[in-house]
Amino acid sequence: MEYVEFRAMNSDILLAAEGATDQLAEGFRAARAFVDANEARLTRFSEGSELAALNRSGGTWFRASEELYDVVRQARAYSDQTNGLFDPSILNALEFAGYDKSMDEIRAHGVSSRRRTAPRARADLSAMQFDDAARAIWLPPAMRLDLGGIAKGWIAERAARLLSKYADACVVDAGGDMFMLGLPAGECAWRIALEDPRDEKATLAVLCIAPGAVATSSITKRRWQQDGYARHHLIDPRRGEPAETDWLSVTVIAPHATTAEVFAKSLLIAGSREAERIAARRNDIVFIAVDGGGRLWGSRDAKELMDVGFAYV
């Protein structure tokens, strides 16, 4: 297995692949170029991005690229599947909570002071309109989207599919959102470590996962202090505030990276009381949650993914 690591989307990106070395080098270059190009397109932290242009277009039709249109279309559909717990239109609330610049900048310089006025009530996401023939999106006035997590999953899967043209087996890991194609030589599954959300150097379990996607959402990483209050990046759309949940992280295994990312986030917001109801909307996902004591909780099939025979050294 050969590896390439770099920084993009405010996350550590890892490309890993097996195959002929010269082919892999070309595949790594192509995958990295794809990641960089689509980060530039889908980021909310650059005024020059296509997403920023869409966010300025409220009240008028916006003709989108194929990539942006696909991500926004999927985001709208996932909102319905998660009973609204996934909602890309929480950007105003996210900025009000202090997340108005990239996490790398917040870590370096801290957050801005809280604005004096709360964001206006959000427009209903169902008011958003799509014109498939013209590939155009209509946002209600003042609605602004954050595609952070779902865009990262979308990019990871597309980059992995691109890399797989040059490799026998490969994985793209975008800050914990992973998409795998093929299998490493001699293996019957990908072995993926589950990080302890309380200690990034600790491993809680090793999972055996078939080709497909795995994503983790956590409230312990993107955190900051705002006016003396601890805040994190996971906004509960029902309250417009950082979610109050009894879990620290949720990992979802799914056929697609966007599905894994969206349901990891939604199940984390839902917590132990509502997770079962949300997860029941999809019969193709498995999830594992970590509570404050480091205990693992899983959906019905989760136990079968635990690699109990792994040599722990």
Partner 1 sequence: MKLYQYVFRLLIVIGSVTGFFGGWAFLAHAGKPVAPQTQPAEMAPAPLPTLPPLNFSTNDAPSSLQPLPPPPSFSQNFVPRLRTRGS
Residue 190 near partner 1 by CB under 8 A: yes
Tokens representing 200 are 């990034």
Cα-Cα end-to-end distance for the chain: 20
Can you state the angle between helices 66-81 and 21-42, rounded to 10 degrees?
70
Residue 132 near partner 1 by CB under 8 A: no
Q: Which of 92, 218, 259, 266 binds partner 1 (CB under 8 A)?
A: 218
Residue 11 near partner 1 by CB under 8 A: yes
> Which residues from 271-300 bind partner 1, rule CB under 8 A?
272-273, 275-276, 288, 295-300
For partner 1, the closer CB: 154 or 190: 190
**Residue in 129, 120, 151 with CA at minimum distance from that of residue 44:** 151
Hunting for tokens 């996607």 — which residue is that?
213
Q: Which of 27, 88, 98, 176 binds partner 1 (CB under 8 A)?
A: 176
The strand pairing partners of 61, in sequence order, are 138
For partner 1, the closer CB: 125 or 215: 215
Residue 164 near partner 1 by CB under 8 A: no
Residue 238 near partner 1 by CB under 8 A: no
CB of 304 to partner 1, least distance (A): 11
Cα gap 76→81, rounded to integer Å: 9
The stretch among 71-79, 111-119, 173-181, 237-245 that binds partner 1 (CB under 8 A) is: 173-181
CB of 25 to partner 1, least distance (A): 19
H or E, element range at 253: strand 247-254
For partner 1, the closer CB: 57 or 153: 153
For partner 1, the closer CB: 7 or 63: 7
Can you state the angle between helices 148-163 and 21-42, rounded to 10 degrees?
160
The stretch among 37-45, 52-60, 68-76, 220-228 that binds partner 1 (CB under 8 A) is: 220-228
Beta strand residue intervals within 149-234, DSSP E: 169-174, 177-181, 190-196, 199-209, 212-218, 223-226, 229-232
CB of 81 to partner 1, least distance (A): 18
Cβ atoms of residues 249 and 294 within 8 Å: no
If one counts every other C-beta atom within 10 angstroms of the C-beta of residue 138, the result is 16
For partner 1, the closer CB: 128 or 184: 184
Residue 202 near partner 1 by CB under 8 A: yes
Q: Which of 101, 220, 255, 282 binds partner 1 (CB under 8 A)?
A: 220
The stretch among 80-88, 139-147, 156-164, 195-203 that binds partner 1 (CB under 8 A) is: 195-203
The stretch among 9-17, 38-46, 88-96, 133-141 that binds partner 1 (CB under 8 A) is: 9-17
H or E, element range at 96: helix 91-96
Tokens representing 154 are 């979308």
Please, which residues have CB within 8 angstroms of residue 39's CB and are 6 or more apart in sequence?
8, 9, 155
**Residue in 153, 167, 287 with CA at minimum distance from that of residue 213:** 153
Cβ atoms of residues 11 and 151 within 8 Å: no
What is the contact surface with partner 1 in residues (CB under 8 A)?
3, 10-11, 14, 16, 152, 171, 173-178, 190-195, 197, 200-207, 214-222, 249, 251, 272-273, 275-276, 288, 295-300, 302-303, 306, 308, 312-313
